[in-house]
């Protein structure tokens, strides 16, 4: 019954209004509000501050600065295996595997359309058909910056408007097409293994998503918007393997896509496997 009520509430709550209100609180600089909030959160979720560049909780100007905190040099060493595909973030594998018949497995009998995930453009999604996907869920205690699984040249960024359902195991098992319904930012790269997509999926109370090249992704209207970064547009942006590419202000999920016959996921990883940014998630396929 509790689960049913929770799922029902997901459809009834004013997602964007609630997220904007939480976003205002998360940007508050008033000490008597932000300091207890940060301290409570760090204790509640057992956040490991010993690896943060700034360990003093009171030193953060607001909650979002704490939430998107930088780590000390060397806190996330990059796996040096030849052909390594790196985990883009701290978190847990929600699912990973093959993109079959244009569908990406979600959980417990649910899947979603790769075309819809990438903004509804079949041509944009075509290179990934028959390829591989990995979905990484970032929990509240995790480091919330997203990094490059493989070095690449940015070709396009697509803002896709949508709902802001909570993202967790319960919603994954009960909300159809969850990741293709939530608001998201699709980042498309050319890599040595062909096209790669890194999709930053929003969720309930996720105040915003940022990228290192565009800053805060906040289109003036909640409508699909594509921005090209090729030589004819803004000029290509190159990011090295392991480089930061974006961050969540109140976290969610990162989905990585590759084309067919390009990568092979590590056999020891599966649904529920804990991962850290920079660890081996897969290797280039021969």
In a domain, 2, yes or no: no
Which residue of the set 15, 87, 90, 166 is catalytic?
A: 90
CB-CB contact of 171 with 221 (8 Å)? no
Q: What is the pLDDT of residues 260-271, one digit of tens each?
A: 999 999 999 999
Domain encompassing residue 274: 82-282
Whether the predicted pLDDT of 165 surpasses 90: no
In a domain, 5, yes or no: no
**Which token pair is 29?**
């600089």
Backbone angles phi, psi at 33, to 5 degrees: -100, -50
In a domain, 36, yes or no: no
In a domain, 165, yes or no: yes
- What DSSP string describes 168-199? SHHHHHHSTTHHHHB-EEEEEEEETTEEEEEE
For 220-228, what is the mean pLDDT?
81
In a domain, 72, yes or no: no
Q: How far apart are CA 124 and CA 188, in angstroms?
A: 9
Which residue of the set 19, 111, 144, 147 is catalytic?
A: 147
Q: Give yes or no: 73 in active site.
A: no
Q: Give yes or no: 87 in active site.
A: no
In a domain, 190, yes or no: yes
CB-CB contact of 61 with 67 (8 Å)? no
Q: How far apart are CA 281 and CA 285, in angstroms?
A: 13
**Which token pair is 100?**
């079959």
In a domain, 56, yes or no: no
Q: How many domains does the chain have?
A: 1
- pTM of the complete model: 0.90
**Which token pair is 138?**
């970032």
Determine what percent of the chain is predicted with pLDDT higher than 90: 62
Q: Give yes or no: 56 in active site.
A: no
Q: What is the pLDDT of residues 29-88, one digit of tens each?
A: 998 999 999 999 999 999 999 999 999 999 999 988 998 999 999 999 999 999 999 999
Q: What is the pLDDT of residues 233-281, one digit of tens each?
A: 666 799 999 999 998 876 689 999 999 999 999 999 999 999 999 999 9
Q: How confident is the model at residue 192 (pLDDT cuts 50, 70, 90)?
A: very high
Q: How far apart are CA 183 and CA 147, in angstroms?
A: 20
**Which token pair is 240?**
């090295």
Beta strands in 80-150 (DSSP E): 84-86, 91-98, 103-107, 110-113, 132-137, 145-147
């Amino acid at each position: 019954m509790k689960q049913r009520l929770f799922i029902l509430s997901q459809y009834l709550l004013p997602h964007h209004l609630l997220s904007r209100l939480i976003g205002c609180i998360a940007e508050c600089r008033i000490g008597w509000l932000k300091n207890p909030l940060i301290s409570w959160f760090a204790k509640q979720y057992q956040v490991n501050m010993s690896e943060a560049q700034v360990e003093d909780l009171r030193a953060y100007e607001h909650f979002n600065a704490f939430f998107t905190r930088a780590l000390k040099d060397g806190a996330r060493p990059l796996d040096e295996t030849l052909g390594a595909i790196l985990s883009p973030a701290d978190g847990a594998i929600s699912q990973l595997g093959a993109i079959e018949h244009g569908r990406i497995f979600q959980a417990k009998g649910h899947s979603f359309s790769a075309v819809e995930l990438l903004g509804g453009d079949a041509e944009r999604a075509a290179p990934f058909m028959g390829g591989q996907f990995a979905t990484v869920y970032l929990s509240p205690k995790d480091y919330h910056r997203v990094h490059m699984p493989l070095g690449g040249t940015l070709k396009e960024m697509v803002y896709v408007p949508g709902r802001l359902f909570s993202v967790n195991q319960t919603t994954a098992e009960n909300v159809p097409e969850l990741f293709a319904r939530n608001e998201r930012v699709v980042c498309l790269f050319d890599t040595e293994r062909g096209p790669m997509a890194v999709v930053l999926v929003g969720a309930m109370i996720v105040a915003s998503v940022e990228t290192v090249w565009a800053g805060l992704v906040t289109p003036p209207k909640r409508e699909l918007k594509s921005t090209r970064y090729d030589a004819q547009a803004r000029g290509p942006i190159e990011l090295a393997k392991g480089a930061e590419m974006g961050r969540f202000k109140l976290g969610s999920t990162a989905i990585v896509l590759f084309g067919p016959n390009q990568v092979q996921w590590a056999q020891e990883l599966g649904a529920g496997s804990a991962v850290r940014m920079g660890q081996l998630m897969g290797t280039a396929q021969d």
